[in-house]
């Protein structure tokens, strides 16, 4: 489903350099990515999701070559096909839980917000234990609840690929397991592919495949890693 | 609701305190020059309108502005009064109709305007109820004066003493209200109109008391013979004019010597006006004749110059404030970098993010314009009376 070919990336004003000869992520595959800090895990996720463009090489999402698309087409594709979950939750403080979940439908006309979508957002929130908190604002939620809202926002578009950047890094073990159970269950039910960056060795058993970025890529940075 | 509008609205609603502060700050920046301009323009128009309707004014020499303002707005006159014979003199010339104004006294805060019924015709004042004053001791109230004094036709009001410790000063006179005027939106609304003679009764120039020939108590008389009696200070004047005592009211001395604060002259035509002005300019008299329109126009000119300076200062301050506000907006966008990045990462276009920010700024500016418009309207309604009060 996702294919990376001869990918190389470097930041203009940095000695950081990432090179991936080949990476294939299958449909409904759960891929865990580990590695030390600063070795390019988040950069890899940003490349896969099209947030940043590689210096060279190709990225395919299904039959579509992501690297050949324009910025807006990439955004449209990301919105429709990918769900993003961030380490810091990245919720909009001034939107209620329900509005945060519906955010993908409000920021791009390619997705139309219908009453059915609102009902689905409510059901999703209820299934994640947020049913009584739909009108609350993120500041009034616990860390675990905030991340559940963030997960619901990623799932509301029914993505084919879930991209998670250390989604459990700020959570206690109980909340961590709850979040991971939700993600696992969704991916299993809908055959959604999952790419998750994590430092947490306790959760590696949940993935079909775990890649250490140091083993499948060449990278350099200014701290002397190679 | 449009999605970008929805998100912008939610942001402003969530940060309502900051938004309100911003709206009020921008409103003030817009309102100060706008409101000031409106206030001065409207004030000037009102001042000029009344002045233009008052062709000529006669009064004692002194400040032309004071004479004009006291005659047009019934402020306590600061110029000396002229003698009533000046009215007769103008009448004799047959070049125009003189209307005397005596504005020395008050009922609480409302000025008593001693004049003739010609004043009502001249100012085109019509009665809302009752009739014009016909005999001594009657008065007609302006609409606002009636409201403030809580007075109705058939009731009475008492003039305020001019000085509590001045034994020679005016004493309270109870006046019967016989009419209330229609509201005009001018200073006539605030006045208590009486006949000029009634105003002289208030000033003590005329009075009524018991018939001294009939007095049996010798302590009330200083001298008495068959033809005349001289009253002692123990004889009390009547403080109310009634059908029973009206005939006892009398004037001491020559009424031509009695005071009037100003005389409005309504010339027959343009030529008569020029002739009258010429006579007064040539005459080495103790009175002056002026054209209120010219005097008020000079005053308005000064007001406009001050307004222009204040507006210039307001605009400079406004530009500085708007620069600060632009900086605040820029800083706010910088602080919201993570939030805007999230929208971008999820799939929002640059245009969408721009439209959200633009709408936020637009809504704040629109609200500020509406608030400043409302403030200007309020200023228009309450500011003009205020400016008239300040002038008086």
Per-residue model confidence (pLDDT) at position B281: 77
Supply the mean pLDDT for chain B. Answer: 85
| Chain B CA closest to residue A46 | B345
Asked if A113 is an interface residue toward chain B (Cβ–Cβ < 8 A), one would say yes
Cβ-Cβ contacts under 8 Å, A86 against chain B: 342
Asked if A108 is an interface residue toward chain B (Cβ–Cβ < 8 A), one would say yes
B345 and A108: CB-CB below 8 Å?
A: no
| Chain A CA closest to residue B339 | A92
The low-confidence residues of chain A, meaning pLDDT below 70, are: 13, 216-226
Mapped onto helix, strand or coil, the DSSP state of residue A162 is strand
CA neighbor of B25 nearest in space, from B296, B286, B280, B328: B328
Per-residue model confidence (pLDDT) at position A33: 92
Residue pairs spanning A and B at CB distance below 8 A: 60
Asked if B343 is an interface residue toward chain A (Cβ–Cβ < 8 A), one would say yes
Residue B247, Cβ neighbours under 10 Å: how many? 9
H/E stretch holding A47 reads: helix A41-49
| Chain B CA closest to residue A77 | B347
CA neighbor of B263 nearest in space, from B281, B290, B293: B290
Q: Are A48 and A2 in contact (CB under 8 A)?
A: yes
Mapped onto helix, strand or coil, the DSSP state of residue B288 is strand
Per-residue model confidence (pLDDT) at position B382: 75
- How far apart CA B287 and CA B78 sit, in angstroms, is 15
A75 and B11: CB-CB below 8 Å?
A: no
- How far apart CA A31 and CA A33 sit, in angstroms, is 7
Per-residue model confidence (pLDDT) at position B221: 62
Q: Which of A93, A94, A108 sits opposite B348 (nearest CB)?
A: A108
Cβ-Cβ contacts under 8 Å, A75 against chain B: 344, 347-349
- How far apart CA A61 and CA A25 sit, in angstroms, is 10
Residue B200, by phi and psi: left (phi above 0), alpha (psi -120 to 50) or beta? alpha
When divided into structural domains, chain A yields a total of 1
Quote the minimal CA–CA distance from A46 to chain B in Å.
9
CA neighbor of A208 nearest in space, from A195, A190, A221: A195
Q: Which of A79, A93, A137 sits opposite B346 (nearest CB)?
A: A79
| Chain B CA closest to residue A137 | B14
A86 and B348: CB-CB below 8 Å?
A: no
Residue A9 lies in a domain: yes
| Chain B CA closest to residue A82 | B346
CA neighbor of B298 nearest in space, from B77, B47, B38, B79: B47
Per-residue model confidence (pLDDT) at position B390: 64
Asked if A104 is an interface residue toward chain B (Cβ–Cβ < 8 A), one would say yes
| Residues A79-137 pLDDT 10s | 999 999 988 888 999 999 999 999 999 998 888 888 899 999 999 899 888 889 999 99
Which of A99, A106, A152 should be substituted to probe chain B, the one whose Cβ sees the most B Cβ atoms within 10 Å? A106
Q: Are B207 and B241 in contact (CB under 8 A)?
A: no
Distances (CA, A) of B315 to B29, B34, B219, B367, B377: 8, 10, 75, 20, 20
| Residues B159-196 pLDDT 10s | 887 665 555 556 688 899 999 999 998 899 999 999 99
Which residue is it, tokens 């604060």? B261
Per-residue model confidence (pLDDT) at position B216: 65
Which of B342, B354, B356 should be substituted to probe chain A, the one whose Cβ sees the most A Cβ atoms within 10 Å? B342
Asked if B80 is an interface residue toward chain A (Cβ–Cβ < 8 A), one would say no
| Chain A CA closest to residue B3 | A106
Cβ-Cβ contacts under 8 Å, A76 against chain B: 347
Cβ-Cβ contacts under 8 Å, A72 against chain B: 349
Distances (CA, A) of B313 to B219, B375, B376: 72, 19, 18
Cβ-Cβ contacts under 8 Å, B346 against chain A: 78-79, 84, 103-104, 107, 153
Q: Which of B13, B15, B346 sits opposite A84 (nearest CB)?
A: B346
Q: Please report the DSSP string for B108-128 in residue order.
A: TTEEEEEE-THHHHHTT--EE
Q: Check which CATH number belongs to the domain holding A18 and give it.
A: 3.40.50.300
State the DSSP code for B124: T
Asked if B363 is an interface residue toward chain A (Cβ–Cβ < 8 A), one would say no
State the DSSP code for B130: E
Asked if B348 is an interface residue toward chain A (Cβ–Cβ < 8 A), one would say yes
Q: Please, which residues bridge with residue A83 across strands?
A: A162
A106 and B7: CB-CB below 8 Å?
A: yes
Cβ-Cβ contacts under 8 Å, B338 against chain A: 88, 90
Residue A225 lies in a domain: no
Quote the minimal CA–CA distance from B336 to chain A in Å.
10
| Chain A CA closest to residue B13 | A94
A49 and B345: CB-CB below 8 Å?
A: yes
| Residues B275-334 pLDDT 10s | 888 888 766 667 889 999 999 999 889 888 988 898 888 889 888 988 988 898 899 889
Domain range spanning residue A163? 2-220
Which of A43, A99, A107 should be substituted to probe chain B, the one whose Cβ sees the most B Cβ atoms within 10 Å? A107
Asked if B11 is an interface residue toward chain A (Cβ–Cβ < 8 A), one would say yes
Distances (CA, A) of B142 to A48, B56, B74, B177, B203: 84, 23, 12, 11, 22
β B174-181/B127-130 pair status: antiparallel
The low-confidence residues of chain B, meaning pLDDT below 50, are: none
State the DSSP code for A12: T
Residue A17 lies in a domain: yes
Per-residue model confidence (pLDDT) at position B43: 81
- How far apart CA B43 and CA B58 sit, in angstroms, is 24
- How far apart CA B74 and CA B112 sit, in angstroms, is 8
Quote the minimal CA–CA distance from B297 to chain A in Å.
56
Cβ-Cβ contacts under 8 Å, A105 against chain B: 3
- How far apart CA B250 and CA B46 sit, in angstroms, is 41
Structure tokens at B364: 């704040």
Q: Which of A95, A108, A113 sits opposite B349 (nearest CB)?
A: A108
Q: Give the A window 116-175 contacts with B, CB below 8 Å.
A: 137, 153
B342 and A75: CB-CB below 8 Å?
A: no
Cβ-Cβ contacts under 8 Å, B11 against chain A: 94
Q: Which of B14, B15, B347 sits opposite A107 (nearest CB)?
A: B347
- How far apart CA B173 and CA B204 sit, in angstroms, is 10
A94 and B338: CB-CB below 8 Å?
A: no
Residue A87 lies in a domain: yes
């Amino acid at each position: 489903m996702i294919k990376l070919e001869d990918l190389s990336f470097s930041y203009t004003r940095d000695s950081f350099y990432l090179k991936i000869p080949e990476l294939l992520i299958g449909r409904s595959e759960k891929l865990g990515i580990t590695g030390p800090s600063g070795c390019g895990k988040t950069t890899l996720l940003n490349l896969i999701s099209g947030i940043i463009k590689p210096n060279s090489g190709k990225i395919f999402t299904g039959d579509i070559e992501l690297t050949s698309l324009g910025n807006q087409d990439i955004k449209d594709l990301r919105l429709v096909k990918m769900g993003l979950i961030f380490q810091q939750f990245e919720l909009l403080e001034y939107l209620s839980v329900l509005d945060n979940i519906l955010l993908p439908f409000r920021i791009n006309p390619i997705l139309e917000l219908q009453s059915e979508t609102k009902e689905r957002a409510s059901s999703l929130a209820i299934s994640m234990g947020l049913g009584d908190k739909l009108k609350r604002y993120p500041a009034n939620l616990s860390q675990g609840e905030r991340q559940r809202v963030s997960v619901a926002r990623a799932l509301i578009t029914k993505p084919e690929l879930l991209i998670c950047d250390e989604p459990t890094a700020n959570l206690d073990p109980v909340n961590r397991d709850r979040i991971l159970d939700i993600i696992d269950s969704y991916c299993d039910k809908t055959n959604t592919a999952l790419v998750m960056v994590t430092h947490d060795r306790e959760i590696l058993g949940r993935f079909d495949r775990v890649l250490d970025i140091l083993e499948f890529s060449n990278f350099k940075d200014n701290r002397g890693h190679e | 609701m449009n999605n970008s509008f929805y998100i912008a609205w939610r942001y402003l609603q969530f940060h309502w305190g900051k938004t309100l502060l911003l709206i009020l700050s921008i409103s003030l920046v817009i309102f100060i020059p706008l409101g000031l301009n409106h206030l001065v323009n409207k004030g000037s128009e009102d001042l000029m309108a009344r002045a233009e309707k008052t062709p000529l004014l006669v009064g004692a020499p002194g400040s032309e502005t004071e004479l004009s303002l006291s005659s047009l707005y019934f402020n306590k006159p600061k110029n000396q009064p002229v003698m009533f014979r000046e009215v007769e003199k103008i009448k004799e010339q047959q070049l125009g109709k003189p209307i005397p104004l005596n504005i020395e006294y008050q009922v609480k805060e409302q000025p008593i305007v001693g004049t003739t019924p010609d004043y009502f015709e001249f100012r085109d004042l019509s009665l809302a109820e009752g009739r014009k004053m016909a005999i001594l001791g009657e008065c007609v109230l302006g609409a606002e004066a009636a409201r403030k004094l809580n007075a109705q036709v058939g009731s009475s009001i008492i003039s305020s003493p001019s000085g509590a410790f001045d034994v020679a000063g005016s004493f309270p006179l109870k006046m019967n209200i016989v009419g209330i005027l229609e509201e005009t939106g001018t200073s006539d609304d605030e006045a208590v109109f009486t006949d000029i003679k009634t105003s002289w009764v208030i000033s003590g120039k005329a009075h009524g008391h018991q018939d001294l020939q009939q007095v049996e108590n010798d302590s009330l008389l200083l001298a008495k013979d068959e033809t005349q009696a001289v009253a002692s200070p123990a004889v009390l004047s009547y403080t109310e004019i009634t059908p029973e005592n009206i005939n006892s009211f009398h004037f001491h001395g020559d009424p031509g010597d009695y005071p009037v604060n100003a005389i409005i002259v309504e010339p027959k035509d343009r030529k008569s006006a020029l002739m009258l002005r010429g006579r007064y300019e040539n005459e080495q008299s103790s009175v002056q004749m002026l054209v209120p329109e010219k005097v008020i126009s000079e005053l308005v000119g000064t007001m406009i110059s001050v307004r222009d300076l204040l507006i210039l200062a307001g605009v400079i301050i406004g530009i500085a404030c708007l620069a600060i506000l632009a900086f605040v907006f820029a800083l706010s966008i910088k602080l919201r970098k993570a939030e805007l990045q999230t929208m971008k990462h999820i799939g929002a276009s640059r245009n969408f993010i721009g439209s959200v920010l633009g709408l936020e700024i637009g809504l704040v500016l629109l609200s500020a314009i509406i608030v400043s418009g409302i403030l200007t309207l309020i200023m228009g309604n309450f500011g003009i009376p205020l400016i008239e009060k300040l002038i008086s």
